C-alpha cells in the first residue's frame, strides 16, 4: 500500500486516531501537533521535522493574513 492508497478510515487506523481527527487535519481545521507529526512520520515515512516545518510555515502565513486584514481596519 502506498501513501496515496490510504482512505481516511485506513489512515486514522494507522495513526491510531479517530476519523474526525484525520478529517480535521486534512481540512486544515486542526494543527499538526508534535505528537501527530511523530505519528505521521511512522505511517507516511516523512520526518516529523518536515511535518512540523510545514505546520510552522502554514501558521505563519495565516498570521500574516490576519495581521494584514487588521492593519487595513481604520483605527
Write the CATH number for 41.
1.10.260.40
Write out the residue range of the structural domain in which residue 23 sits: 3-72
The pTM of this model reads: 0.80
pLDDT in tens, 11-30: 999 999 999 999 999 999 99
Q: How confident is the model at residue 69, as a pLDDT?
A: 65
Those residues with Cβ within 8 angstroms of residue 11's Cβ, 6 or more apart along the chain or in another chain:
22, 43
Q: Are 18 and 47 in contact (CB under 8 A)?
A: no
pLDDT in tens, 23-68: 999 999 999 999 999 999 999 999 999 999 999 999 999 999 999 8
Three-class DSSP labels, the chain:
CCHHHCCHHHHHHHHCCCHHHHHHHHCCCCCCCHHHHHHHHHHHCCCHHHHHHHHHHHHHHHHHHHHHHHHHCCC
Those residues with Cβ within 8 angstroms of residue 48's Cβ, 6 or more apart along the chain or in another chain:
34, 37, 38, 40, 41
* Number of structural domains in the chain: 1
pLDDT tier at 5, thresholds 50, 70, 90:
confident
Amino acid at each position: 500500500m502506498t501513501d496515496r492508497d490510504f482512505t481516511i478510515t485506513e489512515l486514522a487506523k494507522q495513526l491510531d486516531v479517530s476519523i474526525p481527527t484525520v478529517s480535521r487535519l486534512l481540512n486544515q481545521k486542526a494543527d499538526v501537533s508534535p505528537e501527530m507529526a511523530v505519528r505521521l512520520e511512522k505511517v507516511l515515512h516523512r520526518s516529523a521535522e518536515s511535518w512540523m516545518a510545514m505546520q510552522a510555515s502554514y501558521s505563519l502565513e495565516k498570521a500574516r493574513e490576519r495581521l494584514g486584514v487588521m492593519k487595513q481596519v481604520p483605527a
